[in-house]
Chain A
């Protein structure tokens, strides 16, 4: 057992990234994730063979990540909604070039400049590609500061394993809260050797290039199909979720991140009133844990999706449920966090 330390979510992500071997961070300040950028500055500027650059824009930051990732190092950037929108061009290029990197989105209210309070309105953007063209990110949805740490480390591993950008989709509450975390000893993971594709100068070999395009549609389609195979493999192998009380529940709530924390309180409060509800909490949003939802829909007739959005993840839940159960929705937006009391009231409407 390692030592437990009290850390703010945003800083914990930074420490986790460094412990995962990330020495290259490129960012731009935006609330509510700025502590992460500041943490990386504090640590990386004092380290050898490392770089921290406060970029001129989010667009530049993601392109610095693109350049660094091409040389084979672990690189990261982070932002919140409006800044993540700016990064989409670069993320699409990185996905097309099949380079690994980690992008953190500490979500805030939107659309537009929105608010600086927690929200989950970037679900579509994170899970359906986000930028132009056919691609996906591997998307993690942590629900505690400990998970911010563990999943950030996993994100680097999976990004390397699949040569694909990975995203940590947190929110302002997770980024700003303090919790005790432990930086556990991690088992050694077997990761693919990068030396067959990194740009390091062509000494002793043919020159090599990383180009995110092909003007021959048949060749580009081949790349699209190759990427699709990768996403199928990710869907098959990497879906993660947590379930609570789904065996005998009368209603299943599906929620991720901050909302899932609140729902855990709702489950306990409901029990006291004799109401039996369960939770399915997706830990990966892409791949989406559709199997467990489909299986549960065979037994439980009622689902309630709770999000801090107008209803985005509900579309994936409905696809998984596939008409076998009733799927209802409750959402708060703009930076408003739903309370356990109001979620329980909502549950009661359907029982």
Chain B
């Protein structure tokens, strides 16, 4: 019988630890499929974060180093600079990348580090139990914005892709979602482009993936996808913000 679907070689057989309806699993799979397609698994070094995806080192079947919260781009810089023939990617959440690690992400982009960043934006801190993230929407209720995010004292949700797009060293920046098959196809294309940029030695690439967190949003998986489409996409528009001609 012809095998039409299977686990990508770049994923181990360790079952994911993610909650039902969480998009981390899809995001992992897409990254793994791209590593497979480029045939780069054996020269890839991943940098996994602090947060729900701290166990990513168990799931990706490539070499992985675990970063302190926010520091993944700095570690990736050290790895890539000392081993330039490797393919280096970071996998970071929104607390990690858009809050505690803003300096690291901005400056690795500004140096044009030849690394790929997978940025999971689910508008909340997942692993610590649902606190406000810099990406939490206005009015969104979390443990630390129990009356809803009030921009007067808590600021507005930060748009990392738009912000990083102002940096010359950032070669490829896109935002994607995973709530329906058409989006997933686009997301994978985008991840492919990001790694292509690195393979071509063209500099910094990042794909922001809008993701659900049904557990901490207090919604069912289906409701969570709907909430993401109705609330997150209007504020965080999908698309490519920076793109080099070669991969357009």
Assess the A71–B79 pair: CB atoms within 8 A: yes
Assess the A56–B63 pair: CB atoms within 8 A: no
Q: How far is the CB of B116 from chain A (nearest CB, A)?
A: 15
For residue A67, which residues in chain B have a CB less than 8 angstroms away from its CB?
A: 47, 65, 74-82
Name the one of B54, B57, B81 contacting A68, with C-beta atoms under 8 angstroms.
Answer: B81
| Assembly CA distance A280 to B123 (angstroms) | 59
Assess the B65–A210 pair: CB atoms within 8 A: yes
Residues of A54-93 at the interface with B, using a CB-CB cut-off of 8 Å, are: 55-57, 59-61, 63-71, 73, 75, 89-90, 93
Assess the B78–A57 pair: CB atoms within 8 A: no
Assess the B82–A57 pair: CB atoms within 8 A: no
Q: How far is the CB of B218 from chain A (nearest CB, A)?
A: 25
| Assembly CA distance A13 to B74 (angstroms) | 24
Known: A67-B77, A68-B79, A199-B79. Contact between A60 and B65, CB under 8 A? no
Assess the B104–A56 pair: CB atoms within 8 A: yes
Name the one of B42, B62, B65, B111 contacting A53, with C-beta atoms under 8 angstroms.
Answer: B111
Assess the A202–B41 pair: CB atoms within 8 A: yes
Assess the A200–B65 pair: CB atoms within 8 A: no
Name the one of A26, A55, A61, A63 contacting B67, with C-beta atoms under 8 angstroms.
Answer: A63
Known: A56-B104, A64-B78, A89-B68. 14 other contacts (CB 8 A): A51-B82, A60-B104, A63-B67, A67-B47, A90-B71, A199-B64, A200-B63, A201-B43, A201-B45, A201-B86, A207-B60, A207-B61, A208-B64, A209-B66
| Residues of B in contact with A, size category | 35 or more
Closest to A93 in B: B68
**8 A-B pairs with least C-beta separation:** A67-B78, A63-B74, A56-B107, A64-B78, A67-B75, A203-B42, A51-B81, A201-B43
For residue B86, which residues in chain A have a CB less than 8 angstroms away from its CB?
A: 71, 200-201
Q: How far is the CB of B75 from chain A (nearest CB, A)?
A: 4
Assess the A202–B75 pair: CB atoms within 8 A: no
Assess the A66–B78 pair: CB atoms within 8 A: yes
**Highest count of chain A CB atoms <10 Å: which of B12, B80, B82, B104:** B82
